[in-house]
Amino acid sequence: MFGKKTGIDSEKDLAGHSQAGDRSTINVQTIPADFYGGVNPVVKFKKVEKEIALGSKPKLTDSEKKIFDQSTAAGSGSILHPANIFTSKKYAWLVGSGLFIVILAGVGGYYYWQIKQQQTKIFSPPQPKISVTTSTESVPETVVATDQPVVSPTTTLPSLAEAPIEFPSSLLGDSPDLDKDNLTDATEELFGSDPSKSDTDEDTYNDGHEVFYLYNPVGKEPKKVIDSGYIKDYGNPLLGYKIFYPATWAVGNTDETYRDVLFSSITGENIEVRVFDKQPNQTFSDWFALYAPNERYQNLVDFQTRFGEKGKSRTDNLVYYFTDNNHVYVLVYHTTDSNTVNFRSVMVMIARSFRSAGFVPLENLTPPSQEANLPDEMPSAVVSSSLK
């Protein structure tokens, strides 16, 4: 009975031995106490600082690299930084719109200022009312300007009078005259006459002849040019002189004393009327030597207006002089950079219509029919003789 074990007993002993040996090496994991009783555990993460060796390029993850690039990019600290403005369509549009408005306002303001300056030069301010004594023909006999200074030999001349007179060249030619009626094609437009017909109204007097005698070149019956609607009569509000001028021209005084008035055409050419004080006992030749030292007195000829007032004219009909007891009136034609004159006959008309304040003009103009036998005073005759 002893000493021999059955196979079954041997297998039991081996199993028991094996189980006894396994208990010494088995790791048993149990549930942490924080989970018992349904308690949520507090999970704490350990902070780990990443150390980067100086002089070496850090190894960053993609997300870290993106954040690093954004924080170190130009303009990261300001929305209005140029880098953000020019890379953002929204900000670029806003800034561009603002600059456009500023530039537009600046340009508009500049041109508005230029227009106001031009209007100040061209258009004269409202003219004050002057009491005058008129004859039955409504022509002023005398006009007294009470604010005019009395100039004595020791009186200092105004600064405007001290400015030199700008005289035109005596070698200027005329612009085209298609019909050869002594009115250039540009002048024909001012009087409404036909530049292709020398006698627009077919009254046997050419257009230039009628304008020279201050008659309407398009009126078949004798009609004064002042009644044609193409010409106006200007009266200086302070100095009292009067002249005819084209209705389409601009008139402007350069100072408040009305001593310098410009009658300007659309081409830029203008006729200037300047008034100078004449000292007591001063002759015109003495005044001429003082104010026109570069002009030749020998080039002046006697001249008479259509109303009978006498004066002096330069032989090319571009400069005229009139005098009274206290003043010298100078009419000067100014051209542009061109070497041609468009409105020489207009200059003659203005000079022929001049009336100083104290001058009593003739009551009536002689009709052209009665002037046919008078010496030819046409501008072309005078100009041609001066250019020989």
* pLDDT surpassing 50 at residue 141: no
Q: Where are the beta strands (DSSP E) in 193-338?
A: 231-235, 242-246, 250-253, 260-264, 270-277, 300-304, 310-314, 319-323, 327-334
210: confidence class by pLDDT, cuts 50, 70, 90: very high
Q: How many distinct helices (H) and strands (E) make up the chain?
A: 10, 13
| Torsion sign over Cα 109, 113, 119, 124 | positive
Higher pLDDT, 138 or 261: 261
Out of 177-186, 220-229, 345-354, pick the least confident.
220-229
* pLDDT surpassing 50 at residue 315: yes
The pLDDT mean for the chain works out to 76
Average confidence (pLDDT) over 139-145: 41
Out of 89-93, 95-99, 202-206, 284-288, pick the least confident.
89-93
pLDDT in tens, 68-90: 766 666 666 666 666 666 666 77
Higher pLDDT, 223 or 120: 223
3 state DSSP class of 140: strand
Report the share of the chain in percent with pLDDT over 70: 60
Measured in whole angstroms, how far is the alpha carbon of residue 379 from the centre of its chain?
36
Structure-block tokens of residue 88: 């953002």
239: confidence class by pLDDT, cuts 50, 70, 90: very high
140: confidence class by pLDDT, cuts 50, 70, 90: very low
pLDDT at position 35: 62
Question: What is the gyration radius of the CA atoms in the chain, in angstroms?
Answer: 51
Nearest Cα residue to 355 out of 214, 233, 229:
233
Phi, psi of 153 (to 5 degrees): -60, -25
Length of the chain: 388
pLDDT in tens, 335-372: 998 899 999 999 999 999 999 998 887 665 555 554 54
pTM of the model: 0.56
Residue 326 has a CB neighbour count (10 Å cut-off) of 18
